[in-house]
Amino acid sequence: MEPILIVHGGAGDIKDSRVPDKIKGVKIAAKAGYKILKNGGTALDAVETAVRILEDDESMNAGRGSVLNLDGEVEMDASIMDGSTLAAGAVTIVRDIAHPISLARLVMERTPHVLLAGPGANKFAEEQGIPRLLPGSLITPFAKEALKEFKKKGGSLTEIGGKDNPGDVG
Amino acid sequence: TVGAVALDSQGHLAAATSTGGINGKMVGRSSDTSLIGSGTYADDEIGGVSTTGHGDSIIKVCMAYAILKNIENGSDPQKATQSVLDKMSAKLNNTAGAITISKTGEIGVGFSSKRMSWAYQKADTIYFGIEQEEVQSEKV
């Protein structure tokens, strides 16, 4: 079967100035994931690799570059699913780790559960040897500015990222 | 939000999604991304999906699973994806997007928001876009 991989970098009212970086990021991730598939790798490895690349890209709302909550902190969610077994793993409200998607995969592969949350997810990450980053490591200047604008202007939580509110969507 | 869906040479599907959520969210808010069936789903017998957009609305329609049910009921991936997005936006007045691969390797890309960045590679060509109806391609 001819392998294929598709990625997205988020939907919303994305600012014009963010468009080139968004396109560049998804192209890099798609190529990397496809390369794994062409070399005989699994779909699971391919999607995890592609998402890790996007989590490292601070123009994306995931990993470093995540938007901020009302307290100015990053709280991240991730999930992964294996279509051959319906095995699935997810984390929510996880803090200070670089790649939530890899933690979600560990939940799938090393626990009897599907979803770990908050401090429990971070405790599991620590047990699995995933380094905890210094608080604030994932916060970018753009995310800080977006929250500042949000607090100043209020506005919709559904379409954030336009010229009036330079944030990003969930 | 970011996401990926893949079909490997063995015919196995996988999907993955990761997000920081919505700007200015309440502390402790979870998104659709963490919920299997809303933000992510994969089944070798049907297809795989990753979603993005207004998470609280995506949760209410179990979007990823709903798209796959459409495919299971005979829709092609593009129509299956867009119809769920359109229904969600009409009913809940919020926007979202999704990427889909069927078990036969057909692609679906849809979004009811202004923009969504996406890309996939097929053989030596990469296809990508961010605007509605936009499909660009270039040789790798």
SS3 A3: coil
**Per-residue pLDDT reduced to its tens digit, B17-60:** 999 999 999 999 999 999 999 999 999 999 999 999 999 999 99
Model confidence pLDDT, tens digit, residues B109-135:
999 999 999 999 988 999 999 999 999
Chain B contact for A17, CB < 8 A?
Answer: no
Q: What is the pLDDT of residue A156?
A: 47
> In which element (H, E) is residue A105 found?
helix A100-110
| Residue of B71, B89, B73, B91 lying closest to B81 (CA atoms) | B71
Question: Which chain B residues are within 8 Å of A159, Cβ to Cβ?
Answer: 95, 113-114
Task: Give the model's pLDDT for residue A169.
Answer: 55
> Cβ separation of B120 and A27 shorter than 8 Å?
no
CA distance A51 to A115: 18
Q: Is A91 strand, coil or helix?
A: strand
Pick the catalytic residue from B1, B40, B51, B100: B1
Contact state of B36 with A84 under an 8 Å Cβ cutoff: no
Query: Which residues from chain A sit within 8 angstroms of residue B132, using beta carbons?
Result: none
Q: Read off the pLDDT band of B7 (50, 70, 90).
A: very high
d(CA B12, CA A137): 36
B19 is an active site residue:
no
**With an 8 Å Cβ cutoff, are B1 and A74 in contact?**
no
pLDDT per residue as tens digits for the range B57-95:
999 999 999 999 999 999 999 999 999 999 999 999 999
CB–CB contacts below 8 A, A to B? 346
- Tell me which of B71, B117, B120 to substitute to probe the interface with A (most A C-beta atoms closer than 10 Å): B117
Quick one: CA dihedral A142, A145, A151, A156, positive or negative?
negative
Q: What is the pLDDT of residue A160?
A: 43
Query: What is the DSSP annotation of A53-79?
Result: HHHH-TTSSSSTT---BTTS---EEEE
Both tokens of B121, joined, read: 């590679």
Q: How many CB atoms lie within 10 A of CB B56?
A: 18
Instruction: Please answer whether residues A81 and B15 qualify as being in contact, where contact means their C-beta atoms are separated by less than 8 angstroms.
Output: yes
Task: Give B129's contacts (C-beta < 8 A, 6+ positions apart).
Answer: B109, B117, B118, B119, B135, B136
Which 3 state secondary structure label does DSSP give A94?
Answer: strand
Residue A170's pLDDT band (cuts 50, 70, 90): low
- A153 to chain B, closest Cα gap in Å: 11
Q: Touching check for A97 and chain B: CB below 8 Å? A: no
**How confident is the model over A138-145, as a mean pLDDT?**
96
CA nearest B46 in A: which residue? Answer: A83
CA dist B8 and A38 (Å) reads 8
Q: Is A54 on the interface with B (CB under 8 A)?
A: yes
Would you mind telling me the total number of residues written for chain B in this entry? Answer: 140
Q: Write a three-state SS string for chain B.
A: CEEEEEECCCCCEEEEEEECCCCCECCCCCCHHHCECCCEEEECCCEEEEEEECHHHHHHCCHHHHHHHHHHCCCCHHHHHHHHHHHHHHHHCCCEEEEEEECCCCEEEEECCCEEEEEEEECCEEEEEEECCCCEEEEC
Token digits of residue A80 = 């992964």
Residue A49 is classified by DSSP as H
pLDDT digits (tens, 9 = 90+) for A83-133: 999 999 999 999 999 999 999 999 999 999 999 999 999 999 999 999 999
Instruction: Say whether A92 and B34 touch across the interface (CB within 8 A).
Output: yes
